[in-house]
């Protein structure tokens, strides 16, 4: 008998009086701590209804619950976020039956980007298992209370790099720190920024020492301040949001962000999956920064 193409998943969100969000998939409560063992977007909790870090954490947890496979979940969860999670009504509880693919990797096609995600997820899981085994072995040799993970001497191999990531490494010296202000917050935020005025291109990257709101949550404020600082035409800007995640060993993320004018000088951001234009844009940015374009 041929395997069905899709199946229904029962996804429930309950919001408590204190604002806590609780999510269930097919009758099982999602555990934030379990999902954070594999991806580290939002240690403060799951969320839905927009394209930020909380929805990313939720999408991974849902995919892990649905497919019971860390590698598959890591490969497809960002697609799941953009397909489903960002559209669920923000700050509202819900009880949905969602049509999900039985074989998401095959359904969503392994483009170069997804192939790289799959390879990275496989490598990442192998490294996690390796480190866990080493930690367990070391724990037998050291006094109780000493963290054996601090004593591991075996080097961890470098993660595989896609062409996209190689281009970002080449562009890294051209990024600058950019301070941004936020209403009702005394502390300024900090991001890493690459602007190519000739292309009307902005790559806004989360700074590891950012003391304030993330570049996702502060997107509309960053858009106004950066376009003003660099005298960019707001109707022409191509905006790429980037998370490196070097410390968490999570695959780097790229999102295209479109800003829609609402009136009164305000803009609403919408996040989209990277398209085939990403690598050519990065190549053009590198050519311009190296002075190879007249």
pLDDT digits (tens, 9 = 90+) for 195-212: 999 999 999 998 888 888
Residue 166 has pLDDT above 50, yes or no: yes
Query: How many Å apart are CA 76 and CA 83, to the nearest integer?
Result: 11
pLDDT band at 126 (very low <50, low <70, confident <90, very high): low
C-alpha separations of 28 from 61, 93, 273 in Å: 11, 16, 29
Query: How many Å apart are CA 127 and CA 74, to the nearest integer?
Result: 14
Please tell me which residue, 248 or 186, carries the higher pLDDT value: 186
Query: How many Å apart are CA 188 and CA 280, to the nearest integer?
Result: 33
Q: What is the mean pLDDT of residues 74-94?
A: 85
**Per-residue model confidence (pLDDT) at position 98:** 83
Residue 161 has pLDDT above 80, yes or no: no
**34 φ, ψ (degrees, to nearest 5):** -65, -40
The answer for residues whose C-beta is within 8 angstroms of residue 110's C-beta and 6 or more apart is 118
pTM of the model: 0.54
pLDDT band at 176 (very low <50, low <70, confident <90, very high): very high
**Per-residue model confidence (pLDDT) at position 5:** 60
What dihedral angle (degrees, nearest 10) is formed by the CA atoms of 127, 131, 133, 135? 180
**Per-residue model confidence (pLDDT) at position 212:** 82
Query: How many Å apart are CA 96 and CA 10, to the nearest integer?
Result: 6
Half-sphere exposure of 196 (CA within 13 A, CB side): 21
**Per-residue model confidence (pLDDT) at position 255:** 85
195 by DSSP, 3-state: which?
strand
Q: Which two tokens stand for residue 233?
A: 């035409």
Query: How many Å apart are CA 43 and CA 83, to the nearest integer?
Result: 23
Residue 111 has pLDDT above 50, yes or no: no
The answer for residues whose C-beta is within 8 angstroms of residue 70's C-beta and 6 or more apart is 38, 64, 121, 125
pLDDT band at 86 (very low <50, low <70, confident <90, very high): confident
Residue 63: is it exposed, middle or buried by C-beta count within 10 angstroms (0-12/13-18/19+)?
buried
pLDDT band at 240 (very low <50, low <70, confident <90, very high): very high
**Per-residue model confidence (pLDDT) at position 123:** 61
């Amino acid at each position: 008998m041929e395997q069905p193409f899709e199946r229904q998943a029962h996804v429930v969100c309950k919001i408590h009086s204190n604002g806590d969000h609780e999510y269930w998939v097919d009758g099982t409560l999602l555990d934030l701590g379990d999902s954070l063992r594999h991806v580290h977007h939002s240690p403060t909790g799951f969320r839905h209804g927009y394209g930020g870090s909380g929805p990313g954490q939720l999408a991974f947890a849902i995919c892990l619950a649905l497919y019971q496979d860390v590698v598959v979940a890591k490969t497809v969860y960002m697609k799941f976020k953009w397909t489903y999670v960002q559209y669920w009504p923000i700050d509202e509880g819900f009880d949905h039956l969602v049509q999900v693919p039985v074989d998401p990797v095959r359904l969503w096609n392994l483009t170069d980007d997804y192939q790289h995600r799959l390879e990275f997820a496989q490598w990442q899981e192998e490294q996690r298992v390796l480190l866990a085994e080493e930690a367990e072995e070391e724990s037998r040799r050291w006094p109780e209370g000493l963290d054996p993970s601090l004593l591991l001497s075996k080097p961890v191999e470098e993660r595989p790099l896609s062409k996209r990531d190689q281009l970002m490494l080449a562009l890294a010296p051209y990024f600058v720190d950019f301070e941004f202000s936020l209403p009702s917050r005394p502390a300024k935020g900090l991001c890493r920024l690459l602007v190519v005025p000739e292309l009307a291109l902005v790559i806004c990257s989360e700074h590891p020492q950012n003391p304030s709101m993330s570049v996702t949550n502060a997107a509309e404020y960053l858009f106004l301040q950066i376009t003003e600082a660099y005298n960019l035409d707001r109707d022409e800007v191509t905006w790429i949001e980037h998370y490196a995640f070097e410390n968490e060993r999570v695959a780097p993320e790229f999102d295209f962000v479109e800003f829609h004018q609402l009136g009164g000088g305000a803009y609403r951001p919408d996040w989209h999956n990277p398209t085939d234009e990403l690598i050519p844009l990065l190549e053009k940015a590198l050519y311009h920064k190296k002075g190879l374009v007249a």
